[in-house]
Structure 1
Amino acid sequence: MKSLKVFVVSDSVGETGEHVVKAVVAQFRPNFEDTVIRRFPHIENEDQIKNIVEIAKAQDALIVYTLAEEIMRQKMHGQCQQNNIQSVDLLGPVIQVVQDKIGELPLEEAGLVHKLDDDYFRKIEAVEFAVKYDDGRDPRGLLLADVVLVGVSRTSKTPLSQYLAHKRYKVANVPLVPEINPPEELFLVDPKKCFGLVISPEKLNIIRKERLIALGLNDDAIYAKQERIKQEIAHFNKVVERIGCAVIDVTNKAVEETANDIIERIEHNK
């Protein structure tokens, strides 16, 4: 069996080229026997191209390249032709077809797909984090979070956590109840990334009554009484004062408004 060497050359990490090469080689050698696939990532100039082509010539290797810039593709093509190296341009022909079809010029920026993938996974990680550390389930998450929310019940802590998670922020939230001491981790959190959510007693009374009715319960339960609500808010004020964090009034704010307010403060503090 004849040995096969393939050099994958890229201005990014080279994953796309390597996947394609492996898919092709597998059609001939499912176990990749007598086959070497070598990646050359982050190629930025002609000198690097010349060096790779010289190595490929010495080792009788094929070159498969994914280079976003047209001038870099031309340099690679020229060097391979001069040295009689068999090569395949994976991106160039497809870029040209799309350009002709839509009449737009390509950005010619390396690694855009990889950046999108990273962004996607950061979002998924943030969403999973918000679910895991929702409603004070695990206080250890407070010290790992980008944003910590505290407030009494029905101040939109959970929907706000999820909204911020979709903006790639890891969020933990803690409900404050007078009968339960807040976790000690809460007082170790940087006050600049902690936000107390407060709401007017009148508005909270309406929201809680509607919640009880939706659950099929009597709306005159202690949970919705004004006295209980004032007691909870007084407890909330003591806790946030001890933390030293900012307090945001969410009485007449949509979740998006509160989220944007928090994001602006977080980015300003950075």
Structure 2
Amino acid sequence: MEKNLMIYIVSDSLGETARSMATATIYQFENHDQWEIKRFPFVNNKELLNEVLYKAKDNDAMVMYSIVNEELTQHAKEFCEQNEIVYDDLLSSIINKMSKKAGLKPLREPGLIRKMDKSYFNRVEAIEFAVKYDDGKDPRGVLKADLVLVGISRTSKTPLSMYLANRHLKVANVPLVPEVPIPKELSEVDPKRIIGLTNSPETLNRIRVERLKSMGLSGAANYAKLDRILEELDYSEEVMKKLKCPVINVANKAIEETAGIILDILKENGISVYNDFSV
């Protein structure tokens, strides 16, 4: 039986990318079943690196390393060359070329892709939360939320909830309707985590008329009448005073502008807000 060919995967992070590359590559050879891959993650200092490299030398293993630390990368290169170890530096060449192209120095921080993945999943979780607890579907959501938006219909509660979810904020929104009692759970929420939304009567009238028309209904329905809108605005003002929450008039404001005001209020109230707003 032929001796297995060894590949040592060395990384200052998980080493999953390097392992995947090694696995994909060995299948280009007929004897792929004779290759054995060993992964050594979180090798982030010279002592650990030397320990792995000496093992590779003793076992006649090829070394594939994905290390972003420049000092460790250079040390691995010198060790392998001095000890005639077959090696491949998976990152340095591409990092240097990208750095030259971009005219920027690389961060050289291990595990950044995992942090990005965590950011992605946190964002998805927040978006799913916003969908689940949109428009008061389940009042229990207000107790789990980072932020609760309250307001009458057409005050941008839903788009703001979705927009803020991209900042990893779990947002529940509750519609205020004079005929419907507010959820008892709202009284248990810290006012610092509640934002009231309002709008001008004229803007609400215009938006509601257009909304009804888009649904194939008459724009003269009670929902869009000015008297009804004023009644709802008076009711929402009364509720927001009881809740002792900040109130933002969204009239003539873009979603981004209103979201910025909300984030500033949260920061002033000592509530943590995710800083990276890329989506």
TM over 0.5: yes
* Structure 1 Cα separation of the partners of residues 237 and 124 of structure 2: 33
Q: Output the aligned Cα RMSD.
A: 2.7
Q: Would the aligned equivalents of 2:18 and 2:90 in 1 still touch at CA under 8 Å?
A: yes
Distance 1:79 1:190, change over 3 A: farther
Instruction: Provide the residue aligned with 1:208 in structure 2.
Output: 208
* Structure 2 Cα separation of the partners of residues 101 and 211 of structure 1: 50
1:46-125 alignment, distance < 5 Å: 46-101=46-101, 104-125=104-125
* Structure 2 Cα separation of the partners of residues 9 and 93 of structure 1: 16
31-40 or 245-254, which deviates more: 31-40
How far the C-alpha of 1:36 sits from its partner, in A, is 4.3
Q: Percent identity?
A: 46
Deviations 1:153-197 (A, max 9, x none): 010111111221233322221111122222233332232121110
Deviations 1:98-137 (A, max 9, x none): 3455554433333333333333333333223222221122
Unpaired runs of at least 5, structure 2: 272-279
What secondary structure sits across from 1:196 in the alignment? strand
Q: Would the aligned equivalents of 2:26 and 2:35 in 1 still touch at CA under 8 Å?
A: no
The AA in structure 2 aligned to 1:236 is: S
What secondary structure sits across from 1:236 in the alignment? helix
* Structure 1 Cα separation of the partners of residues 49 and 226 of structure 2: 74
Q: Does 1:259 align with 2:259?
A: yes
What secondary structure sits across from 1:143 in the alignment? helix
Instruction: Provide the residue aligned with 1:40 in structure 2.
Output: 41
Distance 1:254 1:30, change over 3 A: farther
Instruction: Provide the residue aligned with 2:19 in structure 1.
Output: 18
* Structure 2 Cα separation of the partners of residues 144 and 7 of structure 1: 46
What secondary structure sits across from 1:195 in the alignment? strand
Q: Would the aligned equivalents of 2:7 and 2:35 in 1 still touch at CA under 8 Å?
A: no
How far the C-alpha of 1:261 sits from its partner, in A, is 0.4
* Structure 1 Cα separation of the partners of residues 93 and 192 of structure 2: 51
* Structure 2 Cα separation of the partners of residues 98 and 88 of structure 1: 18
Instruction: Provide the residue aligned with 2:194 in structure 1.
Output: 194
Deviations 1:39-78 (A, max 9, x none): 322x332222112223333454432211123322111112
Unpaired runs of at least 5, structure 1: none
Q: Would the aligned equivalents of 2:8 and 2:63 in 1 still touch at CA under 8 Å?
A: yes
How far the C-alpha of 1:33 sits from its partner, in A, is 7.5
Q: Would the aligned equivalents of 1:163 and 1:259 in 2 still touch at CA under 8 Å?
A: yes
Q: Would the aligned equivalents of 1:53 and 1:83 in 2 still touch at CA under 8 Å?
A: no
Q: Would the aligned equivalents of 1:18 and 1:39 in 2 still touch at CA under 8 Å?
A: no
Deviations 1:233-265 (A, max 9, x none): 233234333333221121232211110001112
Q: Does 1:184 align with 2:171?
A: no
* Structure 1 Cα separation of the partners of residues 45 and 113 of structure 2: 21
Distance 1:8 1:174, change over 3 A: same
